[in-house]
Amino acid sequence: MTTETIPVSDAVAAEALDTVAELLRGKQTVVLTGAGMSTDSGIPDYRGKGAPVRTPMNFQTFVGDERARKRYWAGSHLGWHRFRAAEPNLGHRSLARLEQHGAISGVITQNVDGLHTRAGSRHVVDLHGSMDLVVCLACGQAFGRDSVAARLEAANPFLESSDSVRVAPDGDAEVTDVDAFVIPACTVCGGMLKPNVVFFGELVPTVKFTEATALVAGAEALVIAGSSLVVNSGIRLLEQARRRKLPIVVINRGFTKGDGRALIKLEAGTSETLAGLAVRLVG
């Protein structure tokens, strides 16, 4: 199969959108989204142009290194304030509108910001979890992020959010002075708490991947928006669609690992592209 790459610079060309809309019209379509989906909401991409070089927290370091865990919790708290302030963008709202009109069957997202749900999408599979929950690694108890944040602020009055803090797509932020930081503990068993997101080195929860697989299995087309497909979970879903010979459309600025396996690749931003598709597919 030869991929048709359609370059788009400042705005999405009408001809390109017409081509994709015609391909998707009448088909049960599922959408897989990545960090590029939320850049227009002020949440940065790991790998996009200008993204800082950083090493995200991995699970082994989090559970095995107390100072690293302190640094993560301090940074994650600051990042949480920024995540809460972010608003769904035109792309999120367009996907919600497409779902409401039956043009897509659901969204699978690699993002942890919760913006798809806040935009109104109902069938969302959060592959990598969500920042609005915290879980205990010992007993499994789940807590709302707001309640944990309140405890954290009470125990660490010196830690204040800052508009200048650099936040990453996983909700972490760069903080270095953490020696005096007090890590919150589970109020049920005293165990170690962790934001309900998949760290590097962790596997996507089986139940989440099963939900995502079921969506793709029932689909007649796959759209990948704002993901470079570097993470294995996205590639596995793409391969599932490819093996079934589904038409695959990739919308992303820059190279993705799915480019050679897509029927159409749009070199464009997700917000304007998805908005243009919504106009064509649901009016």
Encoded tokens for 180: 């005096």
Question: C-alpha distances in angstroms, 17 versus 3, 14, 238, 249, 278?
Answer: 16, 5, 21, 11, 10
* Annotation marks residue 81 as catalytic: no
Catalytic residue among 77, 92, 116, 128: 128
Distance CA 54, CA 71 (A): 14
Distance CA 71, CA 78 (A): 11
Encoded tokens for 75: 């940074």
Distance CA 98, CA 118 (A): 15
Distance CA 32, CA 37 (A): 10
DSSP bridge partners of 223: 31, 249
- The angle subtended at Cα 197 by Cα 50 and Cα 63, nearest 5°, is 105
Contacts with 207 (C-beta within 8 Å, 6 or more apart), sequence order: none
Distance CA 249, CA 261 (A): 9
- The angle subtended at Cα 274 by Cα 271 and Cα 279, nearest 5°, is 120
Distance CA 236, CA 8 (A): 27
Q: What secondary structure letter does DSSP report for 220?
A: S
Q: Which residues are designated catalytic?
A: 128
